[in-house]
Amino acid sequence: MHDLLLRNVRPMAGQSCDILIRHGKIAGLGSYRPEDGMAVEDANGAIVVPGLIDAHTHLDKTTWGMPWHVNDRPAILRGRIDFERENRQEIGINAHRQSMRHAIGLAANGASHIRSHVDIDTRHGLSLVEGVWKTRDALKDIIDIEIVAFPQSGVMVMPGTVELLDEALAQGCEVLGGIDPCGIDRDPKGQLDILFTLAVRHGVPIDIHLHEAADLGAFTMELIFERIRANGMEGKVAISHAFALGMNDYVRVGKLIEEIARLDVAILTTGAPSVNVPSIMRLKEAEVRVGGGCDGIRDTWGPWGQPDMLDRAKVIGMKNGLRTDQELAHVLHVVSKGGADVMRIDGYGLDVGCNADFTLLTGETLAHAVVDTAPRPLVVKNGRVIARQGKAIVEMP
């Protein structure tokens, strides 16, 4: 935990001031003189925002920094899952090394926290989670990593997975994941009953991948709602992707969103460009907690993406058809405060007493900062500079 005087910054693109940091927390915003021996940085009037939040990614999957992975396979979800599970070791996707690269990239681009789903299956047991835990420890002063125990290959269709999820939660995974109870698992009641039982037993929240679109996804959402009520898990469930909310049925989507708001379900979006996605503006009107994520980047699933939440903000903003400054500021909210609200991060923000986790942004306004492509001038974690001009103080392995 560090002391730092950051001079001449504009919090949320407002008036310029200095930020005084003591023991890794914001001690004051105003005008300060440097004290003897205190680290000082001049931001030259740059915008400062709290650390960006990647609230939905897969640190264990990327081929970032590895030789190019040729993808000549059909775009079938089940096929992608099985190919990855059976070939990731041979391809050389070491979960520790690759999660280091991915997480360091995110930190260098201004992120302070990551929620990462990590695959758990009967072929790998908990070994991939262990690889990412190693990364979490190695980077504990650089970026915070929360791990979702994620049954990528399914729960009911892969006997033995439930026991592994149970073990992962016992060992400290903070969140329980799930995936397409209909589409992948072929048994929605089976998967969801087990997920809620495990979550209640371990006292952890749930974050479920729901690619299921339109009526199928809406059906699964209704099953999730029923179990939230039955288990008193209001405020403790997140739905990732939630493509069903992108369907072209204004009234039905409205009813789903009403229930989402009522049960305080969080939504995670990646702005998936080629499918129908939830409208972040409609979710904002309903006061639903919404975070953003890079999802997988350059992995066996697909070639796109980079470890950069501002790049992801662009994808989400363009997909949502947003154009005004106010709308762009909301996109920035989704990839920062929105994600923090989903992850329930304590001490997040730029107020006195908050954690000194933030990033400088280039640009005149928040909207300008979202579309600008320049590297982040400075990233601070726990009051310490951890990246300059897009380059972290630790090297990628």
Binding residues (CB under 8 A) for a second copy: these are: 67-68, 70-73, 75, 273-275, 298, 301-304, 306, 314-315, 317-321, 323-326, 328, 363-365, 367-368, 370-371, 373
Q: Which residues contact 324 (CB under 8 A, 6 or more apart)?
A: 367
CB 67 → a second copy: shortest distance, Å? 7
CB 36 → a second copy: shortest distance, Å? 39
Whether residue 161 contacts residue 120, with contact meaning beta carbons closer than 8 Å, is answered with yes
Structure tokens at 284: 């904002």
Give the C-alpha separation, 91 to 98, whole Å: 12
Paired with 114 in beta bridges are 54, 145
CB 39 → a second copy: shortest distance, Å? 31
CB 260 → a second copy: shortest distance, Å? 22
Q: Would you say 40 or 275 has its CB closer to a second copy?
A: 275
Give the C-alpha separation, 211 to 183, whole Å: 8
Residue 267: its H or E element:
strand 266-269
Instruction: Say which DSSP state 293 is in.
Output: -
CB 381 → a second copy: shortest distance, Å? 24
Q: Would you say 15 or 373 has its CB closer to a second copy?
A: 373
Q: Would you say 19 or 245 has its CB closer to a second copy?
A: 245
Report the Cα 96 to chain-centroid distance in Å: 18
Give the C-alpha separation, 54 to 334, whole Å: 10
Q: Would you say 11 or 307 has its CB closer to a second copy?
A: 307
Q: Would you say 123 or 284 has its CB closer to a second copy?
A: 284
CB 298 → a second copy: shortest distance, Å? 7
3-state helix, strand, coil in the chain (%, to 5): 35, 20, 40
Q: Would you say 222 or 311 has its CB closer to a second copy?
A: 311
Give the C-alpha separation, 191 to 179, whole Å: 9
Please state, as a whole number, how many other Cβ atoms lie within 10 Å of the Cβ of residue 340: 24
DSSP result, 140-182: TTT-EEEEEEE-TT-STTSTTHHHHHHHHHHHT-SEEEEE-TT
The backbone torsions φ and ψ at residue 16, rounded to the nearest 5 degrees and listed phi first, read -70, 140
CB 272 → a second copy: shortest distance, Å? 9
Q: Would you say 305 or 349 has its CB closer to a second copy?
A: 305
CB 197 → a second copy: shortest distance, Å? 36
Give the C-alpha separation, 390 to 376, whole Å: 5
Q: Would you say 30 or 373 has its CB closer to a second copy?
A: 373
